[in-house]
A and B are shown apart, each in its own frame.
Chain A
C-alpha cells in the first residue's frame, strides 16, 4: 500500500528565511514523488517531481526537494521565502510497481505555509 505523511499542518516562516515543508512516504517498490501547490480557490499546480537520479530536485518558483531513501523522506525547500509563497502544499507518491497501470497519486493531508512579511 502507498501512503504519504505530512506531519505539519501549518508552517510559518519569516520572509527571506529558508523554508522546509516535510513529507515522508511509504511504498512497496520505488517511489515516484511529487509536490503540488494550491492557492486559494484554485486547483493544484505541479511544482516538482523525483523519479530517479539526483536526489536533489529543482522545480518551479525556486523550490527544490531532497529525496532521502533511507529516511523515506522528500522534504520541500526554498532558500529564501516570499510572501507570495503562502499557500497549501501537498506531497504525493506513486509506486513504481503499481499494478493498475494507472497514474494514481496518493496525497498527503497538506501543509499550509504562511510567509510573514
Chain B
C-alpha cells in the first residue's frame, strides 16, 4: 500500500517557468489537499478538493492551480514560478467521514531561482 505519493522530490526552476507537482493516493480518499511548509510559518493550505471535479482555494492560493479529474490524482501547477514559491510542498489526503486525520506524502522541495 503506497499511501500518498508525490513526484518529483526535488526540483529547481528559473523564475517564470511553469511546472506540475504530482500527487496520487491509493486509499480511495475523497479529500485531498496541498500545503506548503516554510520555516517559522508551519504548514499553510494552498488548495483542496472534496472529490473528483471539485476544488477550492485555501489560505495561500495565488500563483497555483489545481484540478481533480480522478479520485486518485491531485496535481498542483505553478503557472509562472517566483522565488517566493521556494518551499517544501506536501500533499495530504483523508476520508471525509469521521475525524479526518490527514495522510501526508513525503514532500516535494522546490527551489525557484
Contacts and interface: CB of A to CB of B under 8 A. Distances in A.
Contacts of A107: 35, 42-44
B88 to A, nearest CB: 9
Interface of B: 4, 31, 33, 35, 40-45, 48, 50, 56, 58, 90, 92, 94, 96, 99-107
A46 B40 contact: no
Interface string A87-108: 0001000100000111111111
A49 B106 contact: no
Contacts of A103: 31, 33, 94, 96, 100, 102
B42 A46 contact: no
A44 interface: yes
A43 interface: yes
Contact of B48 (A49, A94, A104): A104
Contacts of B50: 100-102
B50 to A, nearest CB: 5
Interface string A1-15: 000100001000000
Nearest to B3: A43
